[in-house]
Chains A and B, each alone.
Chain A
Amino acid sequence: GENVEQHPSTLSVQEGDSAVIKCTYSDSASNYFPWYKQELGKRPQLIIDIRSNVGEKKDQRIAVTLNKTAKHFSLHITETQPEDSAVYFCAASRGGGNNRLAFGKGNQVVVIP
Chain B
Amino acid sequence: ETGVTQTPRHLVMGMTNKKSLKCEQHLGHNAMYWYKQSAKKPLELMFVYSLEERVENNSVPSRFSPECPNSSHLFLHLHTLQPEDSALYLCASSQGTVNEKLFFGSGTQLSVL
Contact = CB atoms under 8 A, between A and B. Distances in A.
Interface size class of B (residues with CB under 8 A): 20 to 34
Given A32-B100, A34-B100, A43 B105 contact: yes
Contact of A46 (B4, B42, B99, B102): B102
Interface in A1-20: 4
A96 B96 CA distance: 10
Contacts, number: 60
B104 interface: yes
Interface of A: 4, 32, 34, 36, 42-46, 49, 89, 91, 93, 95-106
Chain B interface, >50% SS class: loop
B56 to A, nearest CB: 7
B93 to A, nearest CB: 12
Contacts of A45: 104
